A and B are shown apart, each in its own frame.
Chain A
């Protein structure tokens, strides 16, 4: 009893002074066994039952004096047994709930009296008397010191004393010792259930499999090997931080009939992991399969050949294993002791920071070494035991060295498992880390634990007190947040939401609201099913309650799974309903002490919607629930706290096309503009952001100007301290400046100059928008000049070397726009900007390529000695021609435009002809994209200027499709096509093709066009055709 209690029982360190037995199945089993033993003493060992303890066992009992019947002298407060010792002292004495018992007989009768509560009594007794053996038999038998207590010591003692009394004592000692052994064996079985694998069994498995692997059909596997050659002193090969999760080693297995499997062996079993990552030395540790109990089971599942061959080898394998074990058996004992001592110390080092938690697990640590010796004893005692049973015992005995780590980790796997499947798609999921990672447990932890205990075990009055006191902790602090979770407070708080107690619900939500700022807690709340309850609270008539629930939802719904849960439980509709301020104002306000106003409710609803609106499906749901008119309504208020979430929601939602339409319809832009003038930075930011999103639409850009929104935007540009706001403002300016009239306004407000200043020392989000805005503004020539004068060219060109794709697209565009101005072009050329743009053509992203190619056009056009400059880029022309193989139409159009410009130089035209530009252009001819058609036709017409390219286009069948371009509705296409056809028609064969495809009628119409160039080209083409016809006629008649 002594040893088992000292070692196996799991004592808690909770509370001050007294330690208690944790309520674990193991402890319960131990207490039960002890009760059975004590009860049987009276009947089985009457002699021992009369033995008087050296010291009484004392504890606090719940038994009342009246419960004692025959054989006891009872008074109102005290009970004495009639049975006395030789000095006349009673063997049982109870007074004011304190009980003293001095013999097994009395103990056993007491337990019989206690009936239903005997387990509780026994536990109380054991808890009060940490070393019962010492009290029963005297100090020198005590086990608390950690000394083992076995037959040898008893024998020693026996030889020392004489007399019948001594004999009885020895009998009792033997009895207790037997019980002790029994309890230890019993608890072993319990522990054995928890633990499956350990390093040495895994190693044996792998070694045996290795011996049966190789080439040939007979073998079970092609190969099996560890990923790491290095073995730690505890037999594990996994790196220490993975060992903390219970993982031991990783093996690469190549079965005959499957791909190489990378397998994790951990204490719970084996499973498939993600295999080697790109970085050769790292593994993807994430679990990809179910957990199997051992390697053989796992492989049989994965490989048919393996299970087939394994069946053949089964017998052999078994034999081998037995032999192996037998050989191992003897040395293993010693080995394991030393090995796991070192393992323990290694792990101690690893886990040094965790020591506070480990303290409570210490008992099982000590237990390991003693059980080993104990085990040997019991094995000797019971020679009949089978080998397998012995194995069963040695296995778990190996584990406790790792015990603390494993047990601590055991709670975690479910977390990890459930996450790996569903959470991989979550947006912002920080890795869950253990509280004990941050060293000592603070005193708050214990206080919080106590309060949560009262929360669980009290009536509503106590619950409210506990809730209020919990709120006094700094709930913004992570330690407190996690402490509440770790002591099981979250479950209680969420359960409270399900009760009818208004005050409990309010108190609980107040806490949940605070702690849900923590991402891990959010996830836990969702896992515990907190969201459906909170959503149902949104229906409550109590406004404060609604507010708190909405606010908590706002905090929790920061990740996708939570947002989905809110939607699926109908939360969106209810939240939208909260927005309706007017709804309740006519009703009598429900008399309540904890009143909140309708405005508060709407504000909280808006907050929750804001969080939820980050998911696409939720945006839809909000719209369908009629949220937009309500949001528009709320936008008219002047409460900043209200406006921020409202505008925030709108801003999130405005990314959707139909939202923008609805926003336009509800005349929201005007209010957004109005709020741009607010004092609140956050509000300004969100308004600007919403305008940024909405101004994708041309009408909205107009509206912003009409509502006078451009001026505040321009003036906000000069406030650069708040980067988020600056990014939003510049974004809004960018989108608005797509409208020409807006650009004029911005020019008027001197926004261009400010934008140029923002080109340096700003975060990328700002730079992207600034460059975008400048790109749009510089479409106006006078702004190009302005940018140059403000010194904007240099910073722009400097930005061409970045890696941010969005930034490169915008900067290239801006540089291109500036290059229209010859003076700016000189600067760009001097700064080597053209070469930088040219190298962007190699960028993997099509948008960047296209933007760079567009930008190159004005550069080539305006550069002095452009032909020479282009030739100076080694391999540059080949690069451009090869881009014609792209499948992105924007890239193709831009490259065609670039080729048009390059081909103006005869020498370069010769080079690109050599690179095969003609067939590539011809291949593109069958397109329906008008933009591409236009630039393609231009490029073709340019390329016709060299050698026999005209004929070559005809040979590559580019002519007929070109004629069809004339049916397009775009005049630009007509012009370019007519020009191309004019060039092509100088070749006789092409002329015939053009005529055959019915171009003449179309071209005749175009001669009547207002566009002079088009007229000319069309006329030229027709004249070529006509001339050919005349020549043929002439030839025919002469």
Chain B
């Protein structure tokens, strides 16, 4: 496999993920080391639900204080209403969405999402895993990636 191809694939694998780097770079040293890279890939391709929940929560918790606050949610959702309903303040809609999300996921009603809240909500409804924006590769690009990367190694055991 040539370098270019891998690059392209990796790109497609991670194109949706805004906060990818931060998620990978665990020790915050500004670059992704080989072990960090492998850990990240492992999570992307073979991660269990729990691992993914943890990863996504870390990504969404922008300031790393252990909670996803209303402000963080607002920030993450602010560009997600494509068609602004003309009669309203565009921010209104987002605020409303934040409220809706909180109502759904904030189990302890403290106005912010703790990891426990998030975990419980996702376990109840897996669709909420990437609640505030995509941060995991979608199955299609994931399959393409794997097909490319693993195509030569026939002895690779997929089911590990």
Residues in A neighbouring B104, C-beta threshold 8 A: 465, 468-469, 472
Q: Does A616 contact B (CB under 8 A)?
A: no
Give residues of chain A (440-467) contacting chain B, Cβ–Cβ below 8 Å: 450-451, 453-454, 456-462, 464-467
Of the candidates B77, B96, B139, B142, which one forms a contact with A450 in the assembled complex, judged by CB atoms under 8 Å apart?
Answer: B96
Q: Does B45 contact A (CB under 8 A)?
A: yes
Q: With A457-B85, A468-B127, A472-B104 given, is the CB distance from A591 to B132 under 8 Å? A: no
Residues in A neighbouring B103, C-beta threshold 8 A: 469
Q: Does A465 contact B97, Cβ atoms closer than 8 Å?
A: yes
Q: Does B158 contact A461, Cβ atoms closer than 8 Å?
A: no
Q: What is the total number of residues of chain B having a CB less than 8 Å from a CB of chain A?
A: 39
Residues in A neighbouring B159, C-beta threshold 8 A: 588-589
Of the candidates A451, A456, A458, A590, which one forms a contact with B139 in the assembled complex, judged by CB atoms under 8 Å apart?
Answer: A590
Contact pattern, B 87-125, Cβ under 8 Å of A = 1, otherwise 0: 111000100110011011000000000000000000001
Q: Does B126 contact A (CB under 8 A)?
A: yes
Q: Does A594 contact B97, Cβ atoms closer than 8 Å?
A: no
Contact pattern, A 122-166, Cβ under 8 Å of B = 1, otherwise 0: 011001000000000000000000000000000000000000000
Q: Does B97 contact A467, Cβ atoms closer than 8 Å?
A: no
Q: Does A461 contact B134, Cβ atoms closer than 8 Å?
A: yes
Residues in A neighbouring B130, C-beta threshold 8 A: 461, 464, 503
Q: Does A502 contact B138, Cβ atoms closer than 8 Å?
A: yes
Q: In the complex, which residue of chain A has the Cβ closest to the Cβ of B49? A: A593
Residues in B neighbouring A421, C-beta threshold 8 A: none
Q: Does A591 contact B139, Cβ atoms closer than 8 Å?
A: yes
Q: Does A277 contact B (CB under 8 A)?
A: no
Q: Does B4 contact A (CB under 8 A)?
A: no
Q: In the complex, which residue of chain B has the Cβ closest to the Cβ of A97? A: B89
Q: Does B81 contact A458, Cβ atoms closer than 8 Å?
A: yes
Q: Does A464 contact B128, Cβ atoms closer than 8 Å?
A: yes
CB distance from B127 to the nearest CB of A (A): 5
Q: Does A127 contact B82, Cβ atoms closer than 8 Å?
A: no
Instruction: Count chain A CB atoms within 10 A of each CB in B49, B77, B100, B104 and give the residue with the most.
Output: B100
Q: With A18-B87, A465-B101, A588-B158 given, is the CB distance from A454 to B128 under 8 Å? A: no
Q: Does A461 contact B100, Cβ atoms closer than 8 Å?
A: no
Q: Does B80 contact A462, Cβ atoms closer than 8 Å?
A: yes
Q: Does A2 contact B (CB under 8 A)?
A: no
Q: Does A542 contact B (CB under 8 A)?
A: yes
Of the candidates A120, A123, A451, A468, which one forms a contact with B125 in the assembled complex, judged by CB atoms under 8 Å apart?
Answer: A468
Q: Does A466 contact B100, Cβ atoms closer than 8 Å?
A: yes
Q: With A506-B127, A591-B142 given, is the CB distance from A462 to B97 under 8 Å? A: yes
CB distance from A460 to the nearest CB of B (A): 8
Q: Does B52 contact A593, Cβ atoms closer than 8 Å?
A: yes
Q: In the complex, which residue of chain A has the Cβ closest to the Cβ of B121? A: A468
Q: Roughly how many angstroms separate A459 CA and B97 CA in the complex, as a whole number? A: 12
Give residues of chain B (68-92) contacting chain A, Cβ–Cβ below 8 Å: 77, 79-89
Residues in A neighbouring B83, C-beta threshold 8 A: 456-457
Q: Does A846 contact B (CB under 8 A)?
A: no
Of the candidates A451, A458, A471, A588, which one forms a contact with B80 in the assembled complex, judged by CB atoms under 8 Å apart?
Answer: A458
Q: Roughly how many angstroms separate A453 CA and B139 CA in the complex, as a whole number? A: 28
Residues in A neighbouring B93, C-beta threshold 8 A: 454, 457
Of the candidates A120, A454, A469, which one forms a contact with B81 in the assembled complex, judged by CB atoms under 8 Å apart?
Answer: A454
Q: Does B129 contact A593, Cβ atoms closer than 8 Å?
A: yes
Residues in B neighbouring A591, C-beta threshold 8 A: 45-46, 139, 142
Q: Roughly how many angstroms separate A506 CA and B130 CA in the complex, as a whole number? A: 14
Q: Does A465 contact B87, Cβ atoms closer than 8 Å?
A: no
Q: In the complex, which residue of chain B has the Cβ closest to the Cβ of A588? A: B158
CB distance from B158 to the nearest CB of A (A): 4
Q: Does A464 contact B142, Cβ atoms closer than 8 Å?
A: no
Q: Does A705 contact B (CB under 8 A)?
A: no
Q: With A127-B87, A465-B97 given, is the CB distance from A594 to B126 under 8 Å? A: yes
Q: In the complex, which residue of chain A has the Cβ closest to the Cβ of B44? A: A591
Q: In the complex, which residue of chain B has the Cβ closest to the Cβ of A465? A: B101
Q: Roughly how many angstroms separate A503 CA and B79 CA in the complex, as a whole number? A: 19
Residues in B neighbouring A127, C-beta threshold 8 A: 87
Residues in B neighbouring A908, C-beta threshold 8 A: none
Q: Does B86 contact A465, Cβ atoms closer than 8 Å?
A: no
Contact pattern, A 105-126, Cβ under 8 Å of B = 1, otherwise 0: 0000000000000001001100
Q: Does B131 contact A (CB under 8 A)?
A: yes
Residues in A neighbouring B143, C-beta threshold 8 A: 590
Q: Roughly how many angstroms separate A592 CA and B125 CA in the complex, as a whole number? A: 14
Q: Roughly how many angstroms separate A467 CA and B125 CA in the complex, as a whole number? A: 11
CB distance from B132 to the nearest CB of A (A): 6
Q: Roughly how many angstroms separate A362 CA and B47 CA in the complex, as a whole number? A: 58
Q: Does A461 contact B131, Cβ atoms closer than 8 Å?
A: yes
Residues in A neighbouring B87, C-beta threshold 8 A: 15, 18, 20, 124, 127
Of the candidates A18, A456, A462, A503, which one forms a contact with B127 in the assembled complex, judged by CB atoms under 8 Å apart?
Answer: A503
Q: Does A560 contact B (CB under 8 A)?
A: no
Residues in A neighbouring B82, C-beta threshold 8 A: 457-459
Q: Roughly how many angstroms separate A507 CA and B86 CA in the complex, as a whole number? A: 27
Give residues of chain A (498-514) contacting chain B, Cβ–Cβ below 8 Å: 502-503, 506-507
Q: Does B100 contact A451, Cβ atoms closer than 8 Å?
A: yes
Q: Does A745 contact B (CB under 8 A)?
A: no
Q: Does A465 contact B131, Cβ atoms closer than 8 Å?
A: yes
Q: Roughly how many angstroms separate A141 CA and B18 CA in the complex, as a whole number? A: 57
Residues in B neighbouring A60, C-beta threshold 8 A: 89
Q: In the complex, which residue of chain A has the Cβ closest to the Cβ of B142? A: A591
Q: Roughly how many angstroms separate A507 CA and B127 CA in the complex, as a whole number? A: 7
Contact pattern, A 579-616, Cβ under 8 Å of B = 1, otherwise 0: 00000000011111110000000000000000000000
CB distance from A781 to the nearest CB of B (A): 66
Q: Roughly how many angstroms separate A588 CA and B96 CA in the complex, as a whole number? A: 42
CB distance from B50 to the nearest CB of A (A): 11
Q: Does B128 contact A462, Cβ atoms closer than 8 Å?
A: no
Q: Roughly how many angstroms separate A542 CA and B97 CA in the complex, as a whole number? A: 29
Contact pattern, B 136-160, Cβ under 8 Å of A = 1, otherwise 0: 0011001100000000000000110
CB distance from B112 to the nearest CB of A (A): 16
CB distance from A114 to the nearest CB of B (A): 13
Q: Does A120 contact B86, Cβ atoms closer than 8 Å?
A: yes
Q: Does B127 contact A459, Cβ atoms closer than 8 Å?
A: no
* Additional A-B contacts beyond A503-B127, A591-B139, A593-B129 (10; CB < 8 A): A20-B87, A454-B81, A458-B81, A459-B80, A461-B77, A465-B100, A465-B104, A467-B127, A468-B125, A591-B142
**A-B residue pairs in contact (CB < 8 Å), sample of 24:** A60-B89, A123-B86, A450-B96, A456-B83, A457-B93, A459-B80, A459-B81, A459-B82, A461-B132, A461-B134, A464-B131, A465-B104, A465-B128, A465-B131, A467-B127, A468-B128, A469-B104, A471-B125, A588-B158, A590-B139, A591-B45, A592-B139, A593-B52, A593-B126
A residues sitting closer than 8 Å to B (CB atoms) are 15, 18, 20, 60, 120, 123-124, 127, 450-451, 453-454, 456-462, 464-469, 471-472, 502-503, 506-507, 542, 588-594
B residues sitting closer than 8 Å to A (CB atoms) are 45-46, 49, 52, 77, 79-89, 93, 96-97, 100-101, 103-104, 125-134, 138-139, 142-143, 158-159
Q: Top 5 nearest A-B pairs by Cβ distance? A: A588-B158, A457-B83, A20-B87, A459-B80, A462-B80
